Amino acid sequence: MHASDVMRFGLATGVLAGSVALLSAQSERFVSLSPVTHVSEHWTVEGSAPDTWSVKDRVIVCTGKPNGFLRSKKVYRNFIFRAEWRFQKEGWKDQPPRYPNAGYFIHAGTIEETWPRSLEIQGHYGEAGSLFGVRGGRVSGAHRGPVHENRKPFGDWESIEIQSLGGIVTVTLNGKKMNEGHDFEPTEGNICLQSEGWPVFYRNLQVRELD
């Protein structure tokens, strides 16, 4: 190998190593919120009985009854949150639009009539990715209603990415940006996993705080 080839190979190797190191550093900035053995490692149970929620193979399992939610132990303001969820397929007999209901609260504060004052990113199968205010929370410019595109079959795992940064909330569903809102209140609070009436599973939960 000529000296020039050695130099080019060395530069290419260095660039590759630098890229790997950068990607590694970026991924390390995400913190897992998936419990190993018990939900209390990262979450507190509110609304429902503690045994409504359990952990199996790092998947959060919820019976769905009574209604309730898990609240993150930490408060967040600017962040990216990623998660996957699915509903129990077996036993569901009702037809649309009465799909099972679940979802995510962000910037969650005090409870007002069962649910926290917050923004909700809908996990209801027929409206997944909808964004709206709950119990006095508010957001402008966001879509709420049925969502039919870029969906997985009922009972399959679906992914959500929620970013709150600089006064804008964006929602990415199954890898595609589906919603955006601005001028929202509250502007900080907990992240919550919600369940409402039917068995639901959550996994691969992670959050990255943004400057």
Residue 38 three-state SS? coil
pLDDT score for 127: 96
Structure confidence at residue 211 (pLDDT) = 81
For the chain, 211 residues long, the average pLDDT of each consecutive 10-residue run is 48 43 55 97 94 97 96 98 97 90 98 96 96 98 93 96 98 98 98 97 98 81
pTM of the model: 0.86
- Give the integer Cα–Cα distance in Å for 52 and 50: 5
- On the CB side of 160, how many CA atoms lie within 13 Å of its CA? 31
pLDDT of residue 28: 63
Instruction: Specify the pLDDT at position 95.
Output: 80
Return the residue matching tokens 């962040």.
Answer: 79
In words, the CATH class of domain 33-209 is: mainly beta
The amino acid occupying position 24 is S
Q: What is the DSSP string of 111-176?
A: EETTEESEEEEE--GGGTT-EEEETT-EEES---S---SS-PPTTS-EEEEEEEETTEEEEEETTE
Domain boundaries, the chain: 1-31, 33-209
Beta bridge partners of 160: 83, 173
